[in-house]
Amino acid sequence: MFALPLVVRPDYTIIDGFHRWIVAGQEPLLSKLNGKVPVVIVQHTNEAEDIYGTVTHNRARGTHLLEPMKAIVKRLIDEGRSTSEISKQLGMKPEEVFRLSDFSKEDFLAMMTKNVNAYSKAEALAKI
């Protein structure tokens, strides 16, 4: 019998798996798991790391939905997380973060280039 573990902090606060915790106390899982629930204890230092871990775990299982994902990306941006940090931690390309952010292209580009003092050698070509 394989059961997905709960993801918890060292104080056993549940980060991911609340619904699994609820059903683990009901039959038939209660008997099948012998009253025990598998857990993974993580040492996250802040709430953003909890979010990154949960999203990564759910994306790997293919269970993260679009609207909750948009809310998470917006929340991380509102908390001051950079798009590069969000991209790296959630395993997304910057374009995916943009699509989930609901920002205009100009606003998103301004966020991407904030505190950037140098430019690439790329040229922007436009058709007239």
Q: Where are the beta strands (DSSP E) in the chain?
A: 6-8, 14-16, 39-41
Residue whose C-alpha is closest to residue 88's, from 56, 54, 114, 64: 56
Would you tell me the crossing angle of helices 94-101 and 66-78 to the nearest 10 degrees? 100
Write down the pLDDT at residue 51. 82
Write down the pLDDT at residue 106. 77
H-only helix segments in 5-65: 18-24, 29-32, 47-61
Please say whether the beta carbons of 39 and 6 come within 8 A. yes
Write down the pLDDT at residue 44. 84
Write down the pLDDT at residue 71. 83
Write down the pLDDT at residue 94. 80
Please state, in angstroms and rounded to a whole number, the distance separating the CA atoms of residues 104 and 92. 19
pLDDT along the chain (128 residues), means of 10: 76 85 86 87 85 75 72 85 85 81 74 69 65
